[in-house]
Amino acid sequence: MKFFILAYKNLKRRKSRSFLTIGGVAVAVAVLVALLGFNAGYQEALTSDVDKMGYQVIVTAKGCPYEAATMILSGEAGLRFMDEDIYNQITSDPDIDKITPLLAQLAYDPEKQGGKGGFINYLGIEKSYIELKPNVKFKSGGWFSAENANEAILGYEAAESEQKSVGDKISIPDKDITLIIVGIFERTATQEDGAVFLPLKTTQRVFDIEGKLTGIGIKLKQIEKISEFEERLYPIASIQVISMSQVKGTILNLVNSAKILIMSVAFIAIFVAIIGVINTILMSVFERTQEIGIMKAIGASRSDIFKLIWMETLIICTLGGIFGSVIAIFGGNLIELLVRKVMPYAPGGRLLLITPDLLVYSFLGVIIVGIISGLYPAFKAASMRPIEVIRSGE
Amino acid sequence: MREHIVKADKLKKIYSSTSQKIIALKKIDVEIKKGEFVTIMGPSGAGKTTFLNLIGCLDRPTSGKLDILGCDPTKFNEEKLSRIRVEKIGFVFEDFFLISFLNALENVQLPLIFARNYKNNNRPRDLLKRVGLDHRLTHFPNELSGGELQRVAVARALANNPEILLADEPTGNLDSRNAQELFNLFRDLNREKGLTIVVATHNVRLGYSADRVIHLNDGKMEKDERLVKQDGR
């Protein structure tokens, strides 16, 4: 039997109190780990989404640029229309490296998700789309046979969920048309995995929006030239130019300010947990006044008692740290679910990124907290004089 | 070679609080030799506990000289005093003072932990066997009788092989049979190992079973009797 076991045995004798205190520490650690993990994950997911999109600049009809950017990022339809002429007008701009027109449309399919119903995204594209997307590749099949063909290419998930393969037929709800699947894209881990791609002209015809686009995706030869490019497009009153790096920066800024708010909540949780730990240990020190006196009388030194009480604090904090990390890893999925519901735009991929580094730092943090919060109770216990303590017990 | 275990010279102890001053010991001169079995007798408030606490390094004298095992405790800091307590002195109390969440064996192991003596694994077991409790090793204090509790406490006091065993009213909570057995145990330990034992007690009959009886009254030494045993005990 050594000090550690002695400390452990004492905690064990007040099981519910020890567990509640450990629970308090665990919650604080879980909140901290989940928040930091979420922040890192969101940042990474957003950056990867923006990079995978392939567009440095998008041109849309005038409106809120951030709404437009997030709609395009999430592959959603609902953007206002712009004239296809604008595309023809700017396509020869000297700074443009690659450019592609986009037309997103939405249709409600009551049969989707096994009869539950849901929206399907249709994206009208031209061949230049593939040139702009760095990681769009065919899993099977290939490109449309003609600009106006009644054909479709499915995103990876769209094909999976509908159990379709090349050669199968699909129809668009409420439209009198049947499309033949000519290709299926590989997984890109973006929102477009769930989309159905049609030739641009077919989309315009089927949805009865001839000569309209919802956006133009552009890659510039040099991204530094973006302001000059923007200036040249300024005379076209009905459109706006959106730089994706700016959008990314703005979203990250917003997330960061939210993070500061949430972090302060997390720190309050930690502060409350520390007070809980100090309270528990101090209470048990006062309850054990006589016992500590006895230990001193039979030879325990100041430092022995200090060590003993300190170790109890450390055990509580260490166990709290372990449980908290476990809660964060498993409970983090719940938070992710919640965040996806509440956030106006959540990037694809895992939002919660709990790295070993993060766990190690949080763990070290909680140990330091344990060391600090154990100081006062341990000092208090160590300062008790055996003679007074034994007498007070009589 | 030093012969005395304890040597007190004009030992004085005053307890003072804001409202009053209590003189617990008034200039006591006493010398206890190695291997002596001494009882301290006297009415309540005579200063018996104060005297034991002083020679047990649990408290410091107000004035006077004190020599315990060749050391002057007044010159030691708390850390050093606890060192002496754990290595040289064994304490037995009236209320047993066992640690309630540890079983008998663990209670006896406790002083070994404080002495950082992790090697002597069998000693606690042997000691409990010596006091007749080898069948109670894993019992917790609330599962033991008064007599058994005090024997565990004696085993604990002996854990680090001390040079002196101090007992403050050790029979106060025991019936007469258990009280007699405890004194028999003290007697045997004193005979077998030459352990120096100092016991404060009210019990006149038991008190006179020692080699020497020191009578205290009102903080002063009244009488110092050395007894000559006829029954060989």
pLDDT in tens, A152-182: 999 998 888 888 889 999 888 888 888 999 9
Please provide residue B100's backbone torsions phi and psi, each rounded to the nearest 5 degrees.
-65, -30
pLDDT band per the 50, 70, 90 thresholds, residue B91: very high
B31 bridge partner residues:
B7
pLDDT value, residue A394? 41
- Looking at residue B92, what is its pLDDT? 93
pLDDT at A190: 78
Q: Taking all residues of chain B, what is their mean pLDDT, rounded to a whole number?
A: 90
Residue B6 to residue A34: CA distance in whole angstroms: 64
Asked if A6 and B113 come within 8 Å (Cβ–Cβ), the reply is: yes
User: Distance between CA atoms of A349 and A355, rounded to whole angstroms?
Assistant: 15
Give the residue from chain A lying closest to B99, CA to CA. Answer: A291
Crossing angle for the helix pair A289-297 and A302-342, to the nearest 10 degrees: 140
Asked if B74 reaches chain A (Cβ–Cβ under 8 Å), the answer is no
Domain-embedded: residue B105: yes
pLDDT band, very low/low/confident/very high, at B177 (cuts 50, 70, 90)? very high
Q: Mark which residues 131-160 of B lie under 8 Å from A by CB.
A: 156-157, 160
Share of chain A above pLDDT 70, in %: 95
Name every chain A residue with its beta carbon within 8 A of the beta carbon of B97.
Answer: 290, 294, 297, 390
Query: Between vectors from CA A130 to CA A124 and to CA A133, what angle results, nearest 5°?
Result: 105
The reply to whether the predicted model has a pTM over 0.90 is no
Task: Tell me which residue in A13, A290, A304 faces B114 most closely, judged by beta carbons.
Answer: A304
> Nearest Cβ partner of A299 from B59, B111, B118?
B111
Asked whether the beta carbons of residue A304 and residue B58 sit closer than 8 angstroms, the reply is: no
Judge: A387–B58 Cβ closer than 8 Å, yes or no.
yes
- A285-311: per-residue pLDDT in tens? 988 888 898 899 888 999 999 999 999
At B6, the pLDDT band (50, 70, 90 cuts) reads very high
Nearest CA in chain A to B113: A2
β-bridge pairing B220-226 and B212-217:
antiparallel
- Cα-Cα-Cα-Cα dihedral sign, residues B189, B194, B196, B199: positive
Distance, CA of A218 to CA of A132 (rounded, Å): 8
Burial class (CB in 10 A: 0-12, 13-18, 19+), A67: middle
Residues of A in contact with B118 (CB under 8 A): 2
Among chain B residues, the shortest Cα distance to A299 is held by B86
**Distance in angstroms (rounded) separating the CA atoms of residues B124 and A351:** 58
The tokens for B59 are 């408290």
pLDDT (tens digit per residue) in A308-323: 999 999 999 999 999 9
Going by DSSP bridges, is the β-strand pair A151-154/A178-185 parallel, antiparallel, or unpaired?
A: parallel
A330 CB neighbour count, 10 Å cutoff: 10
For residue B156, tell me if it sits in a domain.
Answer: yes
CB contact residues (below 8 A), chain B span 184-203, against chain A: none
Q: Do A302 and B118 touch (CB under 8 A)?
A: no
Strands (E), chain A: 57-61, 82-83, 96-109, 118-125, 138-141, 151-154, 169-171, 178-185, 196-199, 212-213, 215-220, 239-243
- The pLDDT value recorded for residue A75 is 65
Instruction: Give the distance from residue A45's alpha carbon to the nearest chain B alpha carbon, in angstroms.
Output: 53
Query: Residue B153 domain-assigned?
Result: yes
CA gap A384, A292 in Å, rounded: 8
As to burial, measured by CB atoms within 10 angstroms (0-12 exposed, 13-18 middle, 19+ buried), residue A34 is buried
pLDDT band for A22, please (50, 70, 90 cuts).
Answer: very high
Q: Is residue B132 part of a domain?
A: yes
Sheet holding B37-41, edge to edge: B89-92, B164-168, B196-201, B37-41, B212-217, B220-226
User: Does the residue B81 lie in any domain?
Assistant: yes
pLDDT of residue B180: 93
**Between the CA atoms of A243, A247, A252 and A258, what dihedral angle is there, to the nearest 10 degrees?**
160
Residue B141 within any structural domain of the chain? yes
Please report residues of A whose CB lies closer than 8 A to that of B87: 299
Q: Is the pLDDT of residue A138 over 80?
A: yes
Instruction: Look at residue B1 and tell me whether its pLDDT is greater than 60.
Output: no
Q: Do A298 and B102 touch (CB under 8 A)?
A: no
CA atoms within 13 A on the CB side of A73: 28
Any residues with CB less than 8 A from the CB of B217 and at least 6 apart, and which?
Answer: B42, B43, B46
- When pLDDT is averaged across residues A186-207 and rounded to a whole number, the result is 88
Percent of chain A predicted with pLDDT > 90: 18
Which of A29-43, A98-112, B99-113 is modeled with the greatest confidence?
B99-113
Residues near A60 by beta carbon (within 8 Å), at least 6 away in sequence: A68, A72, A79, A80, A82, A214, A215, A216, A239, A240, A242
CA distances, B226 to each of B48, B70, B209, B210 (Å): 18, 24, 11, 9
pLDDT score at B2: 59
Lowest mean pLDDT segment, chosen from A45-49, A146-150, B44-48: A45-49
CB pairs below 8 Å between A and B: how many? 74
At B37, the pLDDT band (50, 70, 90 cuts) reads: very high
Q: What is the CATH number of the domain that holds B182?
A: 3.40.50.300
Per-residue pLDDT reduced to its tens digit, A355-368: 888 888 888 888 89
For residue B104, the chain A residues in CB contact (below 8 A) are none
Min Cα–Cα distance to chain B from A2, Å: 6
Q: Which residue type, as a one-letter code, is found at position A95?
A: D
Residue B191: inside a domain, yes or no?
Answer: yes
Average the pLDDT over B90-94 and give the result: 91
Predicted interface score ipTM higher than 0.90: no
Provide the domain limits for residue B214: 35-58+74-226
- Domain total of chain B: 1
CB contact under 8 A, B101 and A290: no
DSSP state of B71: B
Any domain includes B14: no
Interface test with A, best of B86, B109, B113 (most A CBs within 10 A): B113
Contact call for A299 and B78, based on CB within 8 A = no
